[in-house]
Amino acid sequence: MITVPVQLGDRSYDVLVGKGARHRLLELLPVGAQRAAIVTQDEIGVAVDAGVDQHVFLIDSGEEAKNLETVEDLCRRFSAWGLTRRDVVVGVGGGVVTDVAGFAAAIYHRGVPVVHVATTLVAQVDAAIGGKTGVNLREGKNLVGAFWQPAAVLCDTEVLESLPPEEYRSGLGEVAKCQFLPGGEGLADLPIDEKVARCVEIKARVVGADEREGGLRAILNYGHTLAHALEAATAYSALRHGEAVAVGLVYAAELAHRLGRIDEERAKEHRSVVEGYGLPTVIPAELEVEDSELLTLMGRDKKAVDGITFVLDGPKGVEVVTGVPDGDALAALRAVR
| Residues with catalytic roles | 110, 132, 174, 203, 213, 217, 221, 224, 228, 241
The residues that bridge with 36 in the sheet, in sequence order, are 54, 88
35-41 and 88-93 strand pairing: parallel
User: Are 188 and 170 spatial neighbours (Cβ–Cβ below 8 Å)?
Assistant: no
133: number of CA atoms within 13 Å, CB side? 25
User: Treating both helix axes as pointing N-terminal to C-terminal, what angle do 326-335 and 241-258 enclose, rounded to 10 degrees?
Assistant: 120
The residues that bridge with 4 in the sheet, in sequence order, are 15
The residues that bridge with 137 in the sheet, in sequence order, are 140
Q: State how far the Cα of 184 lies from the Cα of 199, in Å rounded to an integer.
A: 8
User: Are 107 and 75 spatial neighbours (Cβ–Cβ below 8 Å)?
Assistant: yes
Sign of CA dihedral 287, 126, 307, 305: positive
Please state the length of the chain. Answer: 337
User: Are 83 and 114 spatial neighbours (Cβ–Cβ below 8 Å)?
Assistant: no
Report the number of secondary-structure helices (H) and strands (E) in the chain: 11, 11
- Helix (H) / strand (E) element for 141: namely strand 140-147
User: Which ranges of the chain would DSSP assign to H, the alpha helix?
Assistant: 25-28, 68-81, 95-107, 121-122, 165-179, 192-209, 224-233, 241-258, 264-276, 291-299, 326-335
